Amino acid sequence: MKKLLVLSLTTLSFVIYSCTDKIYSGSNKNDYKNASLTIEQRVEALLPLMSLEEKVAQMRIFHANIGTKPDANGKLKLSDRVVKKLELGIAGIKNPGEHIDPVAAAKLNNELQKYIIEHNRWGIPALFVTESYNGVDAEGCTKFGRPMTSSASFNPDLVNRVWDVVGKEARLRGMHMCHSPEADVVRDPRFGRMSEAFGEDTYLTTQMVKNAIKGVQGNYTGLGKGTHIGAVAKHFAGYGQVLGGSNFAAIEISERTLIDEIYPPFEAAVKEAKTLGIMASHGDLNGVASHGNRELLTGVLRDDWGFEGYVVSDSNDIARLFYFMNVAESPEAAAQMGLEAGIDIDLYAEDSYSYLPKMVEKNPELEKLIDRSVRRVLRTKFILGLFDSPYIKIPEVEKGVRAASSLELAREADLESIILLKNEKNTLPLNKNKSLKVALLGPLVKKNTEAMFRAAVPNKNISFVVDQGFDLTDKRKGAPNVLPRNPEALDALVEKAKQSDVTVLFLGGDEYTSKEAYFSNSTLGDRATIDPVGPQDELVERIKDTGKPVIVVLKHRRTLSINAIAEHADAILDTWDLSEFGDESSAKIIFGDVSPSGKSPVTIPRSIGQIPFHYSMKEINYKKEYLFLGKGPLYPFGFGLSYATFDYSDITLSNNVITPNTDIEVSVTVKNTGSVKAKEVVQMYIKDEIGSVTRPDKELKGFNKIELAPGASKKVSFKITPKMLEFTGISMKKVLEAGDYTVMVGTSSKTYKEAKFRLNK
């Protein structure tokens, strides 16, 4: 592992990066428009034509909300500020047309692109950039479940298909890049952005991230065809490990953990998924700010992994090297630090890369670094085909966005992602052919919840009574306040439960109780506790006291300590943050149309006091429990029940010895011993019994989601490779150590069959 230091410009000048296979030496100034030339040749033909100011313009992105919008007639309207910014061209614009429907957005973005091309000397198009947390973050697109939700499916192919739709819908509305997905491993539920990531586990996150990127980029081939958009994997690296779960806080993480657990999803994003972009982390590593860390952004990312795309700053973060992180002496020094480190695009800031032209007058060597970054940006635009086909074909938009197949995919993803945490005395599924009065109650009930349940359960013998009762917060945008307990609302909900045969309680949290804490001190999103907000525990206890069955549908964007819910509810569906059809999907599970098959992508603790608490911690962390607290997690990583039961045979190994040049096949036979067809996630974990450094208790190394009819069996096999057994040893280099290992195959990180094998060298 290289030490994470920032090198000086003098040192860096000897290792200037060139992305060209062959330097182009043509003389026609329009050669960059020649589609028969290679991308590298076109970049090299264009770059010398550009002035310094035009180059720097290709290193900046601004947000559309500063003055890019439609007028009353839907025509493009630009503020004077935007007109000024576009005189020299621009790298890109964030979220143009995000608040209008896809057709209107496509028309607007065509106008905007046309204006940009016609108003800079060389006709350089711009990148229009979006994000994706529930599908494309823009009006009128298919709304899928959040990344954490889809990770609970343990189905990488499903994630790939979801992000394929995201890529297509984004491109159809005129977008080209996506500041998603998050490749961060997130283990602290205090962190407000938890649900934007794929979970606590390195292997699971890696599988999901690379499939999301391949999907959104159309397996890379969709980029030049104009059918998909480029991904920007973020936040490199360690952002999910902020101290106290507090956004913008420092990151304290060992280099060994960084290499073995945090880097792999990013490395796969680069090497396997060919992500077009990487976004740097807000944080620091070993005290070195990520935006000024050459060994991270150039050494690891480019020299070690071979990344050829562009690196973009997170919002305003280059400037913050000076005025927030205090590692640069001036705004100009911050700009130079970011440039030297390898940040190619400055996101939003007016007080960072805007200084570069003046800085070059004093230090001409800086232009070599500017050229390096501009090459990367131009290369991306050529890969996306923007110089040759910059506009959207409007007739294709309406039929391509929110297609029937996309909406059905959102439902499919929901049904595979819902986790059954508890099902006391087989409370679920409810019999939809029986006459029932069902109360749909609680603060997470939506206006369309009853309609969604009715769509799933058309049986007229089943009636619904609906009452939200109370809100959790005052929904203040920046820093919401928890509302005071409302005794009248609680009493009314209990009374409705008494008058019903069964109650479905919608509890948990929402977009106000877990969200991104922006830089402003008036905007909060992280929490110091993970208990459910407001009187939710009281509500479930009181409704349980009515003697009627209580089913909890848990909606949330961060892991919650649901001790009271787990104690008093008869059944719990953990749904995280589902698609626009979420309540319909929950109803289908509740009434038995589908057996639940989701597995928890995180460890669910009993208390905030157990944090940090993930299943793959070092074995020595499990030596002692806490006074006055139950043993272990409330629910372990990988846990999830089914309406079926599954029997696992003993593990068979193709060999009980592995060498650096051989593999071992691990097999179990899984039988559905229940009465319904169901899916099961078969999980493989490996434990290194003795290492030269302290090792994780166990690590997920494989999983396979299978479907079995009642009575059916299937042999499930995994391959153990030497690569799986590598780790960063005492010398800080990757090692493969001889010794004993245990392989565990089962239904969760706590329930499995095991076998022993040995590595001989």
Percent of the chain whose predicted confidence (pLDDT) is above 90: 95
* Residue 558 tokens, joined: 């961060």
Q: What pLDDT does 4 receive?
A: 44
Q: Which residues pair with 390 in a beta bridge?
A: none
Per-residue pLDDT reduced to its tens digit, 188-205: 999 999 999 999 999 999
Rounded mean pLDDT, 713-742: 97
pTM higher than the cut 0.85: yes
Per-residue pLDDT reduced to its tens digit, 8-27: 433 333 333 334 334 455 56
Rounded mean pLDDT, 597-611: 97
CA–CA distance, 251 with 353 (Å, rounded to integer):
26
* Residue 609 tokens, joined: 């006091």
- The SS3 of residue 389 is coil
Cβ-Cβ contacts under 8 Å for 448 (sequence gap 6 or more): 583
Q: What pLDDT does 26 receive?
A: 59
Has residue 526 got a pLDDT over 60?
Answer: yes
Question: Residue written as tokens 């621009």?
Answer: 90
Nearest to 264 by CA among 197, 315, 205, 332: 205
Cβ-Cβ contacts under 8 Å for 330 (sequence gap 6 or more): 322
Has residue 248 got a pLDDT over 60?
Answer: yes
Per-residue pLDDT reduced to its tens digit, 149-175: 999 999 999 999 999 999 999 999 999
Per-residue pLDDT band for 223 (boundaries 50, 70, 90) equals: very high
Residue 458 CB neighbours (<10 A): 8
Question: Residue written as tokens 């062959």?
Answer: 22
Question: DSSP label at 88?
Answer: G
* Residue 505 tokens, joined: 């309680």
Average pLDDT score over the chain: 95
Has residue 519 got a pLDDT over 70?
Answer: yes
Q: What pLDDT does 365 receive?
A: 97
Q: What pLDDT does 25 receive?
A: 57
Helix axes 202-216, 156-172, angle to 10 degrees: 40
Contact predicate 330/362, CB 8 Å: no
Contact predicate 178/222, CB 8 Å: no
Q: In the 3-class helix/strand/coil scheme, how is 272-290 assigned residue by residue?
A: CCCCCEEEECCCEECCEEH
Backbone angles phi, psi at 130, to 5 degrees: -125, -170
Per-residue pLDDT reduced to its tens digit, 477-514: 999 999 999 999 999 999 999 999 999 999 999 999 99
Per-residue pLDDT reduced to its tens digit, 411-427: 999 999 999 999 999 99
Q: What pLDDT does 2 receive?
A: 44
Nearest to 548 by CA among 566, 567, 528, 568: 568
Rounded mean pLDDT, 457-469: 95
CA–CA distance, 442 with 437 (Å, rounded to integer):
16
Q: Determine which of 18-22, 606-610, 746-750 has the lowest per-residue pLDDT on average.
A: 18-22
Rounded mean pLDDT, 576-587: 98
Has residue 705 got a pLDDT over 90?
Answer: yes
Count of all residues that appear for the chain in the document: 761
Rounded mean pLDDT, 362-391: 98
Q: What pLDDT does 198 receive?
A: 98
Rounded mean pLDDT, 362-389: 98
Has residue 325 got a pLDDT over 50?
Answer: yes
* Residue 701 tokens, joined: 């190394």
Has residue 552 got a pLDDT over 70?
Answer: yes
Q: What pLDDT does 521 receive?
A: 84
DSSP-assigned states of every residue in 294-362: HIIIIIIIIIIT---SEEE-STTHHHHHHHTS--SSSHHHHHHHHHHHT--BEES-SSSGGGHHHHHHH
| Domains with residue ranges and CATH for the chain | 28-400 (3.20.20.300), 417-598 (3.40.50.1700), 646-759 (2.60.40.10)
Per-residue pLDDT reduced to its tens digit, 237-247: 999 999 999 99
Q: Which residues pair with 742 in a beta bridge?
A: 687, 756
Q: What pLDDT does 476 receive?
A: 94
CA–CA distance, 361 with 355 (Å, rounded to integer):
11
Backbone angles phi, psi at 406, to 5 degrees: -70, -40
Given 3-state DSSP classes, what are the helix, strand and coil percentages for the chain, each rounded to the nearest 5? 35, 20, 45
Per-residue pLDDT reduced to its tens digit, 85-107: 999 999 999 999 999 999 999 99
Rounded mean pLDDT, 356-363: 97
Q: What pLDDT does 5 receive?
A: 38
Residue 274 CB neighbours (<10 A): 20
Q: Which residues pair with 555 in a beta bridge?
A: 508, 576
- In single-letter form, the type of residue at position 725 comes to L
CA–CA distance, 195 with 235 (Å, rounded to integer):
14
CA distances from 607 to 183, 220, 258 (A): 26, 43, 26
